[in-house]
Structure formats: structure tokens, C-alpha cells
């Protein structure tokens, strides 16, 4: 155990020194670290650290379904209900009973090359600091910020048709009674979906939730003292998370996502992460650029017969 810890620490230190330009690639190869078209493959100990940080910060990784595969994942989605027929005259039946069928459609997860750029001043790389910590902390924060936006919103250059914003079913309510609207939303998914449901809201959504009451006059939003899932509140009895990445059509909108977040499926490519170092591109700024690459896809997947996540914006 101690030997493994020492090896991991040595790998981490040398990998950081390579990224800072303090050692050559040959020394890195001696540790079994490979290169691919000019990009260095991130060693497992560091890749686990990056993904572990991402899992803590990205709630769709925490509550979604993550599948590490090299090829496309075909995820079956129910597209039509079974045609069940009841025959009363079973004894004298002469007609043929049709065979029930369940239609399945394959929703395809297709990982694409996903990258994030971090830039660090050269003078920081030359200082007497833990270079690995410095570089990895910057890269982790930049990567997770871009990944979260891709999965929650997916409306920018990295468009994602399966993001929460683009794929969740838009909930509409008659009238202007917000109490009734949110109470109706809490009952909208099927019982099976509600058994594993939770809320994702933005700051405006949390402020609105604080004003909502139950029919008996009690507050619908309740504070949790301790929660293994990390939720600080329940809303209509379901865990509620306030998430910075939740955005609406305008900044003032209160946005509510409600449903079973495990239906958000993420595919990571098991080959792992890669880093490309860009020294010349940012030389005029006295900076070094680091591009972190990952093969990634993330989609909200559900049958139209049973939507799993709804979005309500006020």
C-alpha cells in the first residue's frame, strides 16, 4: 500500500514537472505514460482525480448514469405501449389472439472530442510551488465548468440536443397561481419516476420555492440538517439542489427541473483523458496553454410515453 502511494506521488510529481516544461517526454515514458499525436495520455491516478472532482461538482454525474465504453452505447427507449386484449369468451374462442408487441427504439450515445482550455502564467510555473497541484487545480476547474454547461444547457458552441435544457419536457400551467403550478408539477411525473425524483433549481427558483406553501399552510420548502445525497432542502417532499448552471431564457427567470436524474446517461470513453500543451500560441502573453481532452457524451434519455424530467420556467 505504501509503495503504491509512493509510486502515485512520483507519477503525479513528474507529470506536473513535464507539463511545466521541467522534464522531457522520455522521462515520462519511463513511467509507462504514453503519447498520442502530440498529446500526453493522463495517467490513471491523475485521471481519477480529475473525474472524481468532476463527479463532486457536476450533479448530473452524481445522480445520472455513467457508462464507460469505447463504442457507441445503444440505449433502448420504449416508443409504444403493449396492445393488451382481453377475451371474455375464452372457452369458445375461435379467433387467433394477436401477439403483443413492445416497440423499442435505440437512442444512440456518440462520444465526441470534448476539450477545455486552461492558461497559466509562465512565471508561476517557475516558482517554487507544487507544480502538479497548480496545473491540475486550474485544469479541473476549467474542465468541470465547461462540462457542466454542456450537460445542463448545451446551447453554446458545444451544442447538446440531449442537455437538460434542450431535452426536458416543458411544463405549462393554466392560470397564474404559482402554488398550484408547482404543486401540479410535483405530481406530473409517473409514480415510478417520482420514486427517484429530485429538484434542480437556480437562485431565483430557490427564492420562489421559499414562498410556496402546502394546502395546510406549511412551507413546501424544508431545510435538511444532514443528507447523504448533499441536498440542503426538500420541496414538496423531494430533495432540492440549487445549481448555478441552471439557466432560463433570461437571467431573471425562476427555473425548476423535476424528475429522475438517473435518466441522464453519460458515456465516457475508457481510453482516458489527454492533454495538449500549447507554448507558442500564448507566448506573447507569457502564458502556457493546456487543453484537456475527453471523449464524452451526455443525454437525457426517456420514452415519450413516460417523460422523466420536466422543466418549468417562471
pLDDT digits 0-9 by tens, 2-33 = 778 788 888 888 888 888 888 888 988 888 88
CA distance 272 to 79: 34
Task: Find which of 53-57, 98-102, 211-215 is predicted with most confidence, using mean pLDDT.
Answer: 211-215
- For residues 60-98, one letter each, b for 16 or more C-beta atoms within 10 angstroms of the residue's C-beta and e for the rest, the string is bbebbbeeeeeeebebebeeeeeeeeeeeeeeeeeeeee
- Spacing of C-alpha 229 from chain mean position: 15
Neighbouring residues of 203: CB distance < 8 A, sequence distance ≥ 6: 242, 244
- Region(s) of the chain under CATH 3.30.2320: 168-261+304-313
Q: Which of 72-86, 212-226, 232-246 is predicted least confidently?
A: 72-86
pTM attached to this predicted model: 0.85
Q: Which CATH class is domain 168-261+304-313?
A: alpha beta
Q: Is the predicted pLDDT of residue 83 greater than 50, yes or no?
A: no
Q: CB of 270 within 8 A of CB of 131?
A: no
Rounded Cα gap, residues 204 and 171, in angstroms: 17
Range scoring the smallest mean pLDDT among 11-15, 71-75, 143-147, 303-307: 71-75
Amino acid at each position: 500500500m505504501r509503495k503504491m502511494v509512493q509510486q502515485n506521488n512520483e507519477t503525479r510529481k513528474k507529470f506536473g514537472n513535464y507539463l511545466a516544461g521541467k522534464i522531457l517526454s522520455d522521462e515520462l515514458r519511463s513511467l509507462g505514460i504514453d503519447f498520442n499525436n502530440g498529446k500526453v495520455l493522463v495517467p490513471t491516478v491523475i485521471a481519477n482525480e480529475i473525474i472524481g472532482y468532476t463527479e463532486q461538482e457536476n450533479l448530473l454525474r452524481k445522480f445520472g448514469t455513467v457508462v464507460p465504453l469505447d463504442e457507441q452505447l445503444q440505449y433502448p427507449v420504449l416508443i409504444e405501449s403493449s396492445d393488451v386484449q382481453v377475451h371474455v369468451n375464452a372457452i369458445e374462442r375461435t379467433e387467433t389472439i394477436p401477439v403483443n408487441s413492445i416497440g423499442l427504439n435505440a437512442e444512440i450515445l456518440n462520444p465526441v472530442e470534448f476539450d477545455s482550455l486552461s492558461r497559466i502564467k509562465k512565471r508561476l510555473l517557475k516558482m517554487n510551488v507544487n507544480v502538479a497541484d497548480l496545473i491540475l487545480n486550474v485544469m479541473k476547474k476549467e474542465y468541470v465548468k465547461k462540462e457542466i454547461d454542456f450537460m445542463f444547457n448545451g446551447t453554446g458552441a458545444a451544442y447538446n440536443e440531449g442537455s437538460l435544457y434542450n431535452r426536458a419536457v416543458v411544463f405549462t400551467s393554466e392560470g397564474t397561481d404559482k402554488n398550484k403550478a408547482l404543486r401540479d408539477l410535483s405530481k406530473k411525473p409517473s409514480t415510478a419516476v417520482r420514486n427517484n425524483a429530485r429538484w434542480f433549481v437556480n437562485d431565483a427558483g430557490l427564492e420562489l420555492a421559499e414562498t410556496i406553501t402546502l394546502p395546510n399552510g406549511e412551507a413546501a420548502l424544508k431545510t435538511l440538517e444532514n443528507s447523504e445525497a448533499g441536498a440542503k432542502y426538500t420541496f414538496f417532499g423531494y430533495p432540492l439542489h440549487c445549481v448555478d448552471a441552471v439557466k432560463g431564457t433570461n437571467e431573471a427567470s425562476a427555473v425548476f427541473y423535476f424528475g429522475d436524474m438517473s435518466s441522464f446517461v453519460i458515456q465516457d470513453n475508457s481510453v482516458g483523458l489527454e492533454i495538449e500543451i500549447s507554448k507558442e500560441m500564448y507566448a506573447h502573453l507569457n502564458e502556457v496553454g493546456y487543453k484537456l481532452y475527453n471523449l464524452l457524451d451526455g443525454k437525457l434519455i426517456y420514452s415519450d410515453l413516460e417523460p422523466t424530467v420536466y422543466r418549468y420556467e417562471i
